[in-house]
Every structure is written in structure tokens, then in C-alpha cells.
Structure 1
Amino acid sequence: MSTENTNESISTPREQDIPDQQLRENYEQLMEEVRHHRTAYYQNDAPEISDAEFDNLFRRLEDLEALHPEIVSNDSPTQEVGGDVSSAFAPVEHLARMYSLEDVFSLDELRTWFHRAAGSLQQIRPGVKPSWLAEVKIDGLAINLLYRDGELVRAATRGDGVTGEDVTHNVLTIEDIPTTLTGDDIPAEVEVRGEIFMRTQDFRDFNAQRAEAGLPPFANPRNAAAGSLRQKDPEQTAQRPLTMFVHGIGAQQGLSVGSQHEAYEQLAAWGLPTSPYSVLVPGDTDIEPESSAPLAKLLDFIAERGEQRHDLIHEIDGIVIKVDDFGLQAQLGHTSRTPRWAVAYKYPPEEVHTRLLDIKVNVGRTGRVTPYAVMEPVLVAGSTVSMATLHNQDVVRAKNVKIGDTVVLRKAGDVIPEIVGPVLPLREQHERDGELRDFVMPTHCPSCGEPLAPAKEGDVDLRCLNAHRCPAQLTGRIEHAGSRGAFDIEALGEEAATWLTNGPGEDPAENHGHVQPAGEGVITADAQLFDLAADGDEELKQRLAEVRVWREKRSKGQGTGKWELVPYFYTKATAKTPSKPTANTVKLFDELEKAKSQPLWRVLVALSIRHVGPTAARALAGAFGSLPQLQATALDEENGRQRLSDVDGVGPTIADAVSEWFRDEVNRTTVERWAAAGVRMEDEMDESVAKTLEGLTVVVTGSLQNYTRDSAKEAIISRGGKASGSVSKKTDFVVAGENAGSKLDKAESLGLTVLDEDGFTALLKNGPSGVDEGSV
């Protein structure tokens, strides 16, 4: 933008330096928003937004101040530590200030921080090779314990860093915190800094107890710990499963340790609980950008703990990295709110807040009716999520969620979206606005209209018992048959199964853009699946040309809101080319033909017998060898159930399900039709495979070059071994590939025999006696 050189367009330098009014208003509004959410988090223990959203908000404020330093206010939240002090507890001044940590949110930011800190140390002490200490960042409540002559005399929250809340009486109820230090060299005075938290399992149990008592669950362990510590009645705190790990020292008199790791050793010797999740990285090489050995080891620790974060005893949200030497820490110093010698790397957020728009129900392949949440799309743990299962009506009740709530969403194990619970501080506002309604479980199947009922007395789940005429169940079974654990048909996924078994339904434009299949499709029964194989029923395959599905019209890559019916399994005919099967449809025909030769256990999984997954199917296939023999056993009224139950890995529940399934005439017809189509009904005994692993339990973890997860299991089972998914004292061998993770750690801690891939191959071939020691 240019201005003419006229008197009207010329401003004085002083006027140019004053930011416009809109900028100041934006800044004030952003500061107020950060203050509001900081108070909700630190003081009220009732956050209204997720940690990730607060981090983004705070960073926006920092970025705005960096761009316009002339508007920075002395009372900006960026200049302060933690939150305000609650009036519910007496204020107490810390002997030494408690600081916050600088946060970084990417590995590139961490590298920048590391090289900046290392470069500053080189300027201070040329040639220094500093050691670094890395530890997990506990998602808890910061606490400051003051010991005088070994006796605990005061406990205070961090507060604003200078003044905290006196919670001594409550802390005295926490069993893991010693009231008297033991051992040698106890100083006259020392402030011990740490984090109070709830173990993950304790938190789950605690929330379950609250649900049973009709109380709302806590959204996460941090809120539960903070709320428990701030109880006005210490007896209430005593009933909460709180614990603590210490992670630093404040003011002290008479303590002679020179580094962070030495301090941890000394604190542990006095009886204070220290974290088992830390590592000392020696400064054994010169600091060189991108090739620093210490940095590489720190990044390895971050990756390793990131993979194991759900296996730890408590929740974490990142890794803290510190300069280990206290002298170097002192020389690097602090900013107004953070130490320059420490940083917190935060993993991508696993918990976010979003709006619960609706709760609908899904009918699965076995008739189970499952509520699921429909939410405003939100990014969590690297992917956009808009739906999450709610399991059953009791879970909806226990989670205390209502349609219209703002809810806490997380990904369990970085994979499965899960609603934790509502953001209660926002519920009152939603209620005032008339935006909330309770979920009511339907009484009839939304797919076929039949009444819903438990399969048997005492079941929590409701089911549609119309197994063979319910369209949703048929769709689920056809999709399941093509899944990786069954016939493994890549061209038969959810969408293909839907359009094989359903009609297109109503125009989505009349249904808010939601595609709702309805009516009868080409396949009307499980028995017809292999009629679509390459050598199958040509008339049925030709009917696929008639299948039409709704697709939204697009213009310049954007949806128009207008929909049209287009062929799904065939191409669209033009003036020059007739309609013909798509490449994916031809692939479906061919893969169905190949699926006929799959081993018996995969056929059993594909039949959708309740409770029969790959593990039970392998056990049944191994015990009976053929589907006719299994069917005859299942229908044997006198001894069948017992013979099924006696199979290792089956038991009474699966035995009952198998017997019940084969008693159904429609199911037996499916088996007959599949057999007539050429589907393999028995396993050929391979006498050449020696039972080298008879009676042995083997766990495979990580990625192997020459084995998939399924083929490794097959190799173990076919040789008489048990392929287990968990490591225990009863495990005979653990095979560790790339990125083995926590199972390898557990195996080493138990002193088990660990093999690499070559060792695994030798074990399969020769058994335990033939394992080359060099492969262990």
C-alpha cells in the first residue's frame, strides 16, 4: 500500500508507533480469554477447553506480543506463572519461586531449543559437554513440600509461582508422601517440588465408583487429582487415590548435590517417591547441529515413551528435558516465567473438546444395538474425528452425557475415539439456551423395526433378534466376511458391503446430506456371497449393473448440495462406451474366487458365529479339522457341548454360541451353499510341518521383514505352539522386530529369552534346542 506525499497523509513518528484501536481491543480480549481459562484450569479444576486448545490460545497471545511488543501489558498472562490463589485456602509464600516450563510442540522446535541452550552454554563455558536429563511430564498438580530437619511442615500448590495455597492437611493424608525423611545427610531446610496425580487404573476405578453413586465422572486424572487435593475436608481427600512423584528442589540449606540426577538419588534415599521414567544422557560428544549424540538419544527417548505412553502407570502429555548440572542451570538462569535450562516437549493432543450433536444407534452383524456419538468434526491425535462409540445405554448414563453437551474426546491408544464425559462448567449455559436433551434408547430396531431385547437374561446389551431378515445385520456380516481376520478380501469393505445388501434410500438432499441406505439389495442372504465369485451366478453378477448410489455433484472440487444416482459396481455408460464392471468389481469377483481356498479357521471367522474370532477359530479348526465334523459335534446333544468346551481356548461361552449357531437351519444352509460353491471346508494335514513348538508360548512384537503378524501366528500354531499377545512369566520366547516397544521392555525385566527374526526362524525349524545363541 502506498500513500501520496500530502499533508493529509503524513503522520508523526509518535502517531505511527501507536497501534490501532482494533489491535488493542483484540489484545485485551485475548488476554481476558486466557485469564478466564487459566482460572478455570488452575483454580476451579474445571477446564472449559482442552489442554491443546489452551496451548493454542496461549501461543496466539505470545505471537501477538512478539509482533507488537509495544502493546505488551505488565499483567499479561505470558508474564505470570500458573494461576491465582484460591480464597478457600490460606496463602503461603514459597521460599524460592516456582516456575512454569517453556512448551514446544514439534521436534523441530525442540531441536531449536536444544541448540540454543547448548550454544549459550558454549558461550558461558567454551568446550563444555553438558549432560541432559529427560523425564516424562506427569499430567498432575504441582506441589511444593517444605521439610525442616526432616519433618514435613508445609505443603502448598504452585499458585502464581510466588504464592500458593496451603494444602498441608490434605497432603498429610497421601500415603506415598513421608511426613518424616529417613536416611543420612538430611538438610536443615529443603523445598521439594513434585507432582500429585492419580494412577491411570486408580482413576478408572475412582470414576466407576462415582458413577455407581450417581455422581458425574471426572474428565481426566489431572482434574480428579486437583479437585481431590482441594477438598476442604481432609477426610474427603484421604478417600481419593492420590500419589506423588518428586521432580526437583527449591530453596535448601545444607544440601550438597551438584546435579538433577544426583538430587533424585538423594530424594529417593530419604524415602521420597521418584519417577521410574527418566534417563540421564551424558554429554559425551561436541554439540553439532543435527548430529549431536545427546540430542539423538533424547529424541529416541521421546519416541520410545510416546509409543509406551498408555502402558505407564500414569497419564503423561510430554517429555521434560533439563540441563543436568545445577551450576550450568544457574548460569543459564530464567526468564520472567520459565527456566532457560529446561523445556517441555508436548505430544500431539489426545484430548480435545467438541460438541455432541446427536446420539444414534448402529445395528451390528450379531444384532447388538450400539449407541454412537455424532460430533462436530475435530482434530485429535493426528486425524479428524466426528463419531465415537458409546457401547450401550448404561455407558451413556455412566458418562453423564446429553445431546448438545460440549464433551471431552480422546483417542484411546491413539486409535479409538472415546468420549470421556461432558465439560460440566458449560452444561449450565447449554441448559439455559435450551440446547440439551437426554438420549433415549430405542425399543425397536432402526433397520428392520423388530422389538429389541437382551439375548438372554442379565445381558446389558440390547439386540435385534431378527438375525436373518435385518438388513443392517446382513450388511455387517458381509463386511465382516471380507475383513482381514476372515477371508481378507480387499475389494469387500464397508461401502461395497452396504451397496451389495441395500438400496440407495431417499435423496440425501432431503435428509440434511446424510446418505441413509434402505430397501433390499442384490444380496439378500449370507449364502449368496460366493455366487458373485468369478465362476459364480452370472445372472446375479449382472444385477450389479442396476445398483445405484447417491453421489453429491461437485463443482471445482466443492460439493454443491445436489445429489444424483450413479452406478456403483459398473461404469457409467456413454454414447461411445457401454457400461461395464469397474476394476474394483472385477477384483471383487476374482478375490472371492481366491477366498474359497482360505484355511478353515478363516471360514469359521467369516461365518459370524458370536464370540468366535481368529483365536477361537484356530483352536476349533485345529481340534476338529473340518466344518462337517465341527457341525456334527455342535449338534451332538449328549456330548457336543462338553467336547467343544474342552478345546483349549474355547470354553463354555464359545461352546454354547457354536452349538446355538449350528442349530439354526438358515446357518446350516449357508454352510451348504458355500461348500457347493467350492469354499474349503476342511484343512489338509501337512505332515511335513514338525511340531517343534509343542507346549511353548511365543509372543511376537514389532515388525518382522519376512512375516506378517498373521503369518507369524500361523507359523507358531501350525507347529503346536501358542501365539500369545501378552508377555508374562509363562512366556517361553519373545520375538522382537523393529519398534518392539513395551513388550520387549517387559520381557527383559522378567529375564525372558528374546529372539530376533533369524532366531525365530531357527526356533520354528528346530525348536528350542536349535536356537542359535547369537540370535538371542
Structure 2
Amino acid sequence: MSEARIKELQDLLNQYNYEYHVLDKPSIPDAEYDRLLKELMSLEEQFPALKTPDSPTQRVGGAILDSFNKVEHRTPMLSLGNAFNETDLRDFDRRIRQVVGDHISYVCELKIDGLAVSLRYENGQFIQGATRGDGSVGEDITANLKTIRSIPLRLSEPVSLEVRGEAFMSKKSFEALNAIKEEKGEELAANPRNAAAGSLRQLDPKIAASRNLDVYFYSIADVGETGVDSHSQGLDYLDKLGFKTNQERRKCTSIEEVIEFVQGWVEKRPHLPYEIDGMVIKVDSLDQQIELGTTAKSPRWAIAFKFPAEEVVTKLVDIELSVGRTGVVTPTAILEPVKVAGSTVQRASLHNEDLIREKDIRVGDYVIIKKAGDIIPEVVNVLPERRTGEEKEFNMPTHCPECESELVRLEEEVALRCINPKCPAQIREGLIHFVSRDAMNIDGLGEKVISQLFQEKLIEDVADLYKLTKEQLLSLERMGEKSATNLLSAIDVSKQNSLEKLLFGLGIRHVGAKAAKTLAQQFEAMDRLSTATKEELTAINEIGDKMADSIVTYFENEVVHELIAELKSYEVNMDYKGPKLVSITNSDSFFAGKTVVLTGKYEQLSRNEAKDKLEALGAKVAGSVSKKTDLVIAGEDAGSKLTKAQELGIEIWSEEQLLLELQK
């Protein structure tokens, strides 16, 4: 009796929850829902073995976590390129048509201002959710995501898939949160986006549960055997499975339709119950998406249109100079505090000397500022009519504010640059970058500790980090015995990082985290990469001339060779530890350079095992069949992908043929 009642209550409450939070059509009063939930919680306490992972009681928040585990995304979560005006959108459309022709349609969606998340379902059950992180690796926030009532814990079909969405906090929930914070005398949350992100990164799921977060799902990471062949069809399929998608979307058959839809939402934006900061425009056809491909950072088949930023007036009280890790001297405006787009701003970028001259910006001016892309504050213009005569012109220095070396302006650059390799500011900023999360990820070595170590002359370059002693650390202000021990342990652990972490940490110009991983996969060892020619580098899809020149120049520097040798002496790993790739230019593998599609059910290999083995042999494993597909591996119950491959005359193998080739 108890088992049947528990199952009945779980099904009822999941249905009521879906009606309320996804369909926005509640069929019972809140009090009745609460009564049934209380009954279910009581029964599950009496019979804990009958509590299931998809029970509605899992949404109230569980035990406090010690930390967040790392999750590697099976399909990378790429960022989007930006468009800021109609010309940018037309340029995007032109680039698309140059590759796939004129038969094209787009899907336009609202760009929710929240936190991107990825959720995995196995046989219809929600098993794991993660943040975007660096796009390749995120944090496991499953317990917190379960508290969001619009996320289904069980789907309407027993499918296995990974979906992407945007978690957010509504304007109403944000106001309620800040009212509570104000009552408690706590610092107010800056904006709904920061509040949502902070809520999902709480180690106590009960806090996340109290924040009334919501989510809209916008894509399937890998359509697999879903039969989906377009983005719009994928959104409809998500609706069918019980996911909450944003219905304010439109399929457009021309860029004119896209521009009309975008411009309409510029006006309607303030009336939404949640924040949006733009629109996302995607090519609808998945085959065309595959044909267009991606860069190291972004898909070529999608773009984010950013809405015009809010502008406000404030006074510029000073201009400060900072020297970055590449030696660029950047002027920053110090402002009288002012609220812009939901947060208080006191500093704004001035970019370079040319901008200051062009806009005739003076210390003491009243200026118009905005947040570029609603994120980075910048000075748009000055109000000369409000000048009193006491304003002062600003002149960039001729020498570095940190080391007094003469500043230079390199060819084709607008920035002034300090080219002294021993400039303290560059070294300090480089050290801060080296220990950051996306680089060597040395926990406890933040900006303040690095600055202290540098100021006390305990470190001069990144290699010095690996010879620090406990006695040296204990000499620092506010550094206790336990903190020192933990920090030394974190430094020691970082020695085992895979090569891409070290490459990114070294701060090679133009080499970001994604490019560092590509280089590590292709060359596998620091010694091989350090002797690579420009031709070898540009043979890699994602490496262009500028990046290749930068890498070659970096490794030609004798100081760099000495640094790497020193890091080796401290046993810092110099090899790639991820799934191995075979260089396409040199490989004798049958699969090198081929685009392969997996379909159907395999008996001896899982889909992920097959994918890993093929990628290790230089293949590109795609999610759907197109004219660029070289080979389809068809297992049992292969569906539409097999049919399409047959129609296009693409070579088709069985699982047995694949295994035979893998054994060679």
C-alpha cells in the first residue's frame, strides 16, 4: 500500500510541478500541492528505500557539499561571437551564404542573462548537471539544479541525452532576495545574473532552493538517435520531453526577417519578467551547422546580437595607468560611483591614448558611460558644455609607470607597450595569470598572495613558485601554518597538470585556453611544440598565421628555453594527458582527417568508447550525416542517419568492420 501511494504521489506532484513551472497552468491550489508534498516526505522518511532520484522531495535541497567536482563536457560549450548592429548581422548572413548557399533559414531566440548549464539524462532520468566553466570543463552542481522546479527530474520518454540551458533569476525573485538581504544588513546582489550564478555555486543546496531560480533550455548537445535534423525541430522535441523552452522564438527565412524580429525586441525587452541582454541567431539546419563548423572559441553558424547598452552621466575624477602581462599600458577612468545596468560602477576603460585624444577626455569632465555588451563599463563621450575651466588635459607617459623603461608603439598597434621583459608589473600579472583557474589552477595563490610574494622578492618568475618553502610562506602577512601547508600541497599537485594548462599559463600571445588544448593534443609534448615550424602550426585547423607567428617567436627566445628547463627540473609535467590524437598530416591511420558518424546500438563498444578511439586516430566524429561525411558506422536499429547516408552514397560500416580496423 505504502509503495503504491508513494509512486502515486510522486507522479501526481511531478505532473503538478510541470503544469505550474513549465506550462504556467497550475491545476491545483498551492496549499493542496504543499499538503501532498508533506505527505510524500513523511512516507519517504518511513520507507527510505522507496525514495527515488526523481522524487519531488529531492527539490528541497540535500546535504551540504564539501566542494564541487569537475565535469568534462562531452561536447564543448562554445561561446558566441557578437553583433552590435544591423551591419554586423548582414555580414554574418553573407559569411553563411558564402559557405552553404542561399537556401537557408535562421532561428531567433531571446538571450537570457543568466548562467549556462549542461544537464545529462540517462534513460530519461536526470543524473548530472554542470556549469559551463571554461567550455571544456565545468563544475558539478547537480544538487543545486535539482532544486529548480522547472527542470524535469524524469522525462516523458526514456531517452539518454545531454541538453543545454540558461539558469536565471526573475526580476521578481531578485527583488525579493535583495529585500531579505537589506533586512539582514547584508550587501545587496548587483544584478539578477550575478545572483543566479552565486545561488548555483552555493555548497548548501538549501540556499539554492530558497532563491526561486528558473531555467530555459535551448539545445541538445548531440542529437544522437533522436531523429532531429534542425535546431527548431530540436526545440520542439525538448518541449515534447517536458523541458521548458522559451516560446518567444521565431524561424526566419531571410536576414531581413531576423533584423525585424531583433529590432522589435529592443523595444519590448523592458516588459519581460526576466532580464535579457540580446538575441541569439542560429542557422536552423544541423547539416549546414556541421558544414560551417567552428573556430577555436565559437560556432560559425550562430551569433549573439547585443542590445544597445544603458548610458548614464557621471564625473571622471582621475585617470589611472596599469601595465598588463603583455606590457600594454592601459588608461582607466576613475569615476564618481554611478549605477549602470543593475550594478555600481567606479571605473571604466579608456582603451588607449588615441581614444582619449579623439574624444578630448579630460580629468574633471562629466562623461557618458555605458556597459559594453552590458558587462564592461566604458566612456562613450564627454559633455563639454558642462566644463568649468578647471578640467585638466591628460597626457600618456613616455616611460613605463612601473619600471621607467621607454614605452613604444609597435607597428599596426594603437597601444603603448613596455617591452622590458623584466618589468615588475608584467611579471606580477603573468604570475597571477599562471596560477589562475584556467591555467595551473593553484588554489590559495590569489592576486594578494602573489603580490606579497613578489614584493618580498620571494618569486621573480613562475619557476620560483616551485621552490617556495613553508618558512617563506609563514613570513607573509595573514599566512598561518595550515594555509601554508595547503598552499604548498596545491603547488605540488599543479606539477601533474596536463600540458595545455601549462601552455595557457605561460601566457603565449594570442594563445587562449582552447588553442592551448588544441596545441597540446596535436603535439603531445612541450619539446615537440617548442620546435614546431609555422607550416606545421598552420596545418592545424584552428591555428592561424598570427597565432603561429606568436608561438614560433615565443619559443625562439632563449629566456623561454631556460624557464622551461627550470620547470622540468622541478618535475613540472610537460606532456599532454588527455585523449591522444594522431597528427592528420603525418598519420597513416585510415581514419585520419575523415568525418565519421556513429548511429544505432553497438554490442561491444559504447558510443563514447567508439568516439574516443576514432578521435584518437585523427577522425572528426560528427552528430549528423551531411555531404561532408566520409563514413557512417551503423549498429542495430540505425534509423534516419543510415537512410540519409544511403541516399548520399556515403560508405557504411558495421561495428565488426570498425573493430577489425581498430585492431590493425
Whether these two folds match at TM > 0.5 is no
TM-score, with length taken from structure 2: 0.44
**Which protein is bigger by CA-based radius of gyration?**
1
**Looking at both structures, which has the greater relative contact order when contacts are Cα pairs under 8 Å and sequence separation is at least 6?**
2
